[in-house]
Structure 1
């Protein structure tokens, strides 16, 4: 199994009705902004471990498990679906709780990258530097899609109530690891074994269950409007690095409905923008090329001007 080089420690904080689990690496430093890492959909904070281990500098790093993932749990009845603005609300409250009004360096992957980028436009004074790792957002929508989207949401929360949207479980951790490697063929077996123990846990039946709420599978009822996202991007004050992988994930997922070129056009509205591509990597670039990504991120965060 993968050998961790820099162990993390856990902290819990009450954030907007949730008991948030936050991983810390390193110690607080008054001279440098904290580095905050936010993960993507159906992932956990521990997923950053390989990149953290590859970083050259010792600094204070924190990574939360988003609401409904990992060891972050709701202090009451669980929701039947998740609303995107709540991630921004959680991040804002978490930064207030952990760091007061200090600006932070913020790195987000996938869904977390999109959240981080929107947050940087909504709270430009809170972000020192921003890194978006394939935080694409969603395909454009048109108003005519609204009736069907609402109906689909109603159908899916009904299915969620009936228990028809449960996540898969597995015989053992090895089964989880095999699933991770099937999803990402570049993932080495030792890393998959380690991740399996962070990504899942035995349930009351002894089956290894994913540490994610099945309600995350419910579609968002609200249409995604790129023009709104672009208006937020234009308010970002922090120097921003956008990193994509050599594999075209958008092409695989959306089959022409949303392209990498379209994303690059949208994100181009960020005022102080740099772009980079990581070769021989897919969407989970922090697993595929952690050393390359760590060097890229550190060089950007340490750059002057």
Structure 2
């Protein structure tokens, strides 16, 4: 399987070293072809990293300069080895866009947590986002626990150093990917294992995500805060919903709530992707790429 090559660079954003992945259009014989390809930012989800979009990038038909950061504590970005605060992602995204797209509103494609960050940001800074694609995200259900319960749970987690799963080698890690997602081919699972894993000093493989991300937040989740942000988004929005993903799992049996959330966006289009789970960028990358390009190029 041949993949479109990427390059990475390290930049410091708000005092934290970030790894930024680029998929660029190859230069032509004059050395300049592809220089002016439009920029689109791909934002990964929780316990993931920028290589997760490789299969979608491979399926893109038009020329794009895809920029995909590893969020702080993910992939090859700096691991803080302490608790993380979600609001930092909004500020990190703001600075990343200022660095790579200082004068033009940005096209954003976010998966799961990345879609959450992008949508909240687009509501807070509507003039900085030109188009927004949200992959399998319509928010979470209202939290069950109140603040004192969550704070107590958080304090108990802080009393011990968190740890993630460890695998004997890359093949064992790939087998775990296939166990979690039966739609995943062995070739794709092996690619993900190579690029989303990190070799430890003892030679074993761990997920390339700081285990501190697994510590639950002490702050209650308020769904209405998200919906209020969505109502402020000025950019056109594309919702790409997997038939077997989290959005349908959470709200598929409640059509009224599903519609209430979709209706928060003033300019929205919705595409359903069959035979795909939450990681639809792995399950149906061609369909996802087609939906993204049809939306981003429509104007």
Scaled by the length of structure 2, what TM-score is found?
0.91
Gaps of 5+ in 2: 26-32
Q: Does 1:67 align with 2:72?
A: yes
**What do the CA deviations read for 1:48-105 (whole angstroms, capped 9, x no partner)?**
010000000111110011111100014xxx2422221111111111111122132111
Which of 275, 280, 287 pairs up with 1:285?
Answer: 280
In 2, Cα distance between equivalents of 1:180 and 1:246 = 20
Instruction: Work out whether 1:57 is the aligned partner of 2:62.
Output: yes
The aligned runs of 1:291-302 (5 Å cut-off) are 291-302=286-297
1:121 aligns with 2:126: no
- Cα shift readout 1:161-210 (whole Å, capped 9, x = no counterpart): xx3x2001111100110111111110100011111011112211111121
Residue 264 of structure 1 deviates from its aligned partner by 4.2
1:227-246 to structure 2, matched below 5 A, reads 227-246=224-243
Contact kept? 1:226, 1:266, Cα under 8 Å: no
SS in 2 for 1:11: strand
Q: Which residue is equivalent to 1:266?
A: 261
SS in 2 for 1:216: helix
Residues in 1 aligned to 2:259 and 2:211: alpha-carbon distance in whole angstroms: 31
2-side partners of 1:96 and 1:24: how far apart?
16
**Match for residue 212 of structure 2?**
215
1:131 matched to 2:133: yes
1:31 CA displacement: 6.1
Rounded Cα–Cα distance in structure 1 between residues aligned with 2:283 and 2:158: 35
Question: What's the Cα RMSD here?
Answer: 2.2
Q: Per-residue displacement from partner, 1:14-52 (whole Å, max 9, x unpaired)?
A: 011211101111159786641000000111101101000
Inter-partner Cα distance in structure 2 for 1:52 and 1:157: 38
| Residues 198 and 206 in structure 2, CA contact (< 8 A), matched pair in contact too | yes
Counterpart for residue 224 of structure 1: 221
Separation in 1 of the partners of 2:88 and 2:238? 24
Mapped to 2, the partners of 1:145 and 1:242 lie a distance apart of 30
Residue 11 (structure 1) shift: 1.1
The 5 A counterparts of 1:131-210 are 131-141=133-143, 145-159=146-160, 163=161, 165-210=162-207
Q: Is the 8 A contact 1:112 1:135 kept in 2?
A: no
Secondary structure of 1:175's counterpart equals: helix
Cα 1:251–1:271, aligned 2, differ >3 Å: closer, same or farther? closer
| Structure 1 partner of 2:29 | none
